[in-house]
Structure 1
C-alpha cells in the first residue's frame, strides 16, 4: 500500500531538490574568491583615463573591459565623458579626430608593417570588435574630421566590403556574429560572397600561434561566434561542430601547459613556460582566461584548474599597482574576470 506524503512535506522536498544543485555549484566559486575578483575588477576600473595621456588604443581596450561603464577625462574641457562617446566623437590623434572620411568611408589609422603600436587601431576591425562586444548599437553616431557623420552600421558595411580571406579574423567574426543574421550573405569588393559561417570556416583552419598575441584573440572570436550561433538556436554540426572541436583542442593544450601555481603558460601554445614577471603573468593568464570564459560552459569554468588560474591572476592584480601591468594586459584580464563572474553567477 502506497503512503501519501503530507502536502507541506512534499513542498519542502520539491524546493530542496530544486535548490540543492544551485548550492553545490555556487559553493565551487567561494564567496571569498568572488569578492576578491570584484575588488580587482574595480581596481582596474578606477584607473583614471585622460585624453592627453592615454591613446585612443588604450581607451578602446578600456571599453573592451568595461563596455558602456567607463569615463575619460577630456583635458581640453576639463570634463569627464563616456568612453564610447569619446572614441566615436571626440578622440584625437596628432591634433585631429581619429575618424577620417575617406571617400565616404569612416576610416581609422590602422598600424601597418613597421608602424608604432598602441596609438589608434592596431588591427583591422579592432574598434568594430570593441563596439560589438560592448553591445553598441548600429545606429550609434561617429563624427569624422570632415564633419560628416557616420554610424557603426557604416563601419560594418565597410568591413563587409573590404573583407579578405587572409586578414585577421578574430576581430571581424565577433562583429559579424553580433550584428548580422547568421544566414545573411554579402559580397566583398573581391567579388567573393561570405556568411559568418564562412569566416568561421576560415578561422578554424588557422594555427592560433601565428595570430596576434599567439592566438587568444583569434580563439575569443571563434568562441564568441560559436556561442552566439548556439544561443540563436543553431545546431552543433558541420562547420560549427568543427569549431567546437577546434576550441577543445586548445582548451586541452592550455590546461596541459598550465603552471603548478595556476598561471597559464607565458609562451601561450608554443610550450609550457612560467611567466617571468607579474606584468607577463597578468597579460598571458588574463588573455587565456578571456577566451576560455566564453569557450567553456559555466560548469567547466568552475573546475579546479580554472579556479586555480583565476586565483593566481587575482593575486598579482591585488598585489601590484595597475601601472605595473601593460594597458592591454590589464584590460583584457579585467574583461576575462568580468566574463568569468557573469558566467559563473554573482
Structure 2
C-alpha cells in the first residue's frame, strides 16, 4: 500500500489538530507568576490595552506600507488582521516576573525577533534577552558535546527538557523551531551555563541527539533543520547511523494519524514547512516529498470540509464536524487549523472566501476576548497563523513557522 493510500484510509477517523497548552496570558500587569491554571479563561480587572498609535516595530504587523509592496492596502480584512496582531502584542505583554519560557517562546512563535517582554531591566526583545543569558523560568541552556569542524572544534548547546509542565521546553528542539522566524544565524552567540557558545553548536547537538528522541517526535527538529540547513542535508548521529532531512520527513509522514502526539498537527505544520523550503530551493517534489505533499493536500481538504457556517473550523479538528459556544475552545481549534493553512496554502488558497471567513472569525474572537486572560497556547498559535497570513498577503513572502 502506498503511503498516500494509507493516509486516505485514515479519513473516517481523521487527523486531530493541536490545542495549545493551558496557561493564562493576562491582559493586566498586576499579577505575579503562578503555576499554570486549569481554567480556560480568567477575567481580569483591566481590559486589554488598545493600540494608541500606528507605530509597529515588527514588519509582520506593519500594515501602513502594504500598498508600497504591491498589495492593495485597503483590503479591510488585511487591515483588521494587522490591528488584531498589534493589539495582541501591545495589550498582552508578557513578563519574566509572571511568565515562564513556555509562554514567552509561544509569543516568539507569533511575533518573531521583534517580540518584547517586560524584564527587571525594562522592555527587551525576548529572543535577544533569552539567548543573551537573561533569566527566564524554565529556560536552561548548557554546553553539550564537542564536534570537529574544518577550523577546529565547536561545543554543542543543550536545551533542558521539561515535558508536560508548561514551564520549560516541552518537546525536543521546540525552542529552535519556535525561533525559526527570528532570523538567527549559525554564528550567533548564545550565553549558556557553560559560557558563550554558537548557534551552530546547538544545531550540531540537535543532529547528534536525534537517536535520543525516543518518541520519534521530529516535528520541531524538522522545522529547525530546514530553517538552517538545505533539504538535501545529511549527518551522522551519536548512534553512528546516517540521518537526513528526507528520513525525518518520511518518519513524520509515516506516523501521521489520530494517535500521533497532539493528533498530528505539529507534524502537519512541520511537513508543510519542509515542503516550502524544498520548493524555494527549486528541488523536485518526488518520492517522500510527493507523499508529504499528498498529506498536506488531504489535511487542507479536511479543514475545509468540516468548516462551520460562521467561518470557524471544527472543534473536532480533522476528525468530524463540531462547534462550541466556548470562545476559547474555538480560538484554539480554529487558530491551530488556520496556522496550518497559513503555512501550507498557496496564495490563491489564502485568498479564497472560506479562508478569509476563518481569519474574520479569529479577529472576532480576539476582539471579544480582549478583556479576558487566555491560554497562551491557543492565543499565540492563533496569532502566529494570523501573522503568517498577514505577512503573505502584504508581501507575498513564503510561509515560515
TM-score (norm 1): 0.84
Gaps of 5+ in 1: 1-21
The answer to whether 1:82 aligns with 2:133 is: no
Give the Cα–Cα distance (whole angstroms) in 2 for the partners of residues 142 and 125 of structure 1: 15
Deviation at 1:170, TM superposition (A): 1.4
Deviation at 1:232, TM superposition (A): 0.6
Deviation at 1:175, TM superposition (A): 0.9
Give the Cα–Cα distance (whole angstroms) in 1 for the partners of residues 340 and 171 of structure 2: 18
**Contact 2:109 / 2:380 at 8 angstroms: preserved in 1?**
yes
Give the Cα–Cα distance (whole angstroms) in 2 for the partners of residues 220 and 199 of structure 1: 14
What residue is the counterpart of 1:339 in the other structure? 388
SS of 1:107 mapped into structure 2: strand
Structure of greater Rg: 1
What residue is the counterpart of 2:196 in the other structure? 149
What residue is the counterpart of 2:89 in the other structure? 45
Give the Cα–Cα distance (whole angstroms) in 2 for the partners of residues 97 and 185 of structure 1: 29
Aligned with 2:76 (options 9, 32, 43): 32
Aligned with 1:54 (options 78, 99, 123): 99
The answer to whether 1:131 aligns with 2:179 is: yes
What residue is the counterpart of 2:143 in the other structure? 101
Alpha carbons of 1:154 and 1:31: their partners in 2 closer, same or farther (altered >3 Å)?
same
SS of 1:205 mapped into structure 2: helix
Alpha carbons of 1:109 and 1:309: their partners in 2 closer, same or farther (altered >3 Å)?
same
SS of 2:165 mapped into structure 1: coil
What residue is the counterpart of 1:301 in the other structure? 350
What residue is the counterpart of 1:281 in the other structure? 330
Residue by residue, what CA displacement relative to the aligned partner does 1:194-224 show, whole Å, maximum 9, x if unpaired? 1111111111112243334322221111001
The answer to whether 1:233 aligns with 2:276 is: no
Aligned with 1:120 (options 168, 177, 183): 168
Figure out how many residues of one structure are paired with residues of the other and give that number: 315
What residue is the counterpart of 2:240 in the other structure? 191
Tell me how large the CA RMSD over aligned residues is: 2.3
Higher helix proportion (structure 1 or 2): 1
Higher relative contact order (CA 8 A, sep 6+): 2
Give the Cα–Cα distance (whole angstroms) in 2 for the partners of residues 335 and 153 of structure 1: 26
**Contact 1:220 / 1:294 at 8 angstroms: preserved in 2?**
yes
Residue by residue, what CA displacement relative to the aligned partner does 1:120-163 show, whole Å, maximum 9, x if unpaired? 101110001122232211222211223x1112211111110111
Deviation at 1:102, TM superposition (A): 5.0
SS of 2:114 mapped into structure 1: coil
Deviation at 1:344, TM superposition (A): 2.4
What residue is the counterpart of 1:73 in the other structure? 118
Deviation at 1:105, TM superposition (A): 4.2
Aligned with 1:321 (options 362, 370, 373): 370
Gaps of 5+ in 2: 1-66, 146-154, 396-401
Give the Cα–Cα distance (whole angstroms) in 1 for the partners of residues 320 and 162 of structure 2: 29
Give the Cα–Cα distance (whole angstroms) in 2 for the partners of residues 100 and 332 of structure 1: 28
Aligned with 1:160 (options 203, 207, 219): 207
More divergent stretch after superposition (212-221 vs 240-249)? 212-221
What residue is the counterpart of 1:4 in the other structure? none
Alpha carbons of 1:286 and 1:30: their partners in 2 closer, same or farther (altered >3 Å)?
farther
What residue is the counterpart of 2:267 in the other structure? 218
More divergent stretch after superposition (316-325 vs 57-66)? 316-325
TM-score (norm 2): 0.73
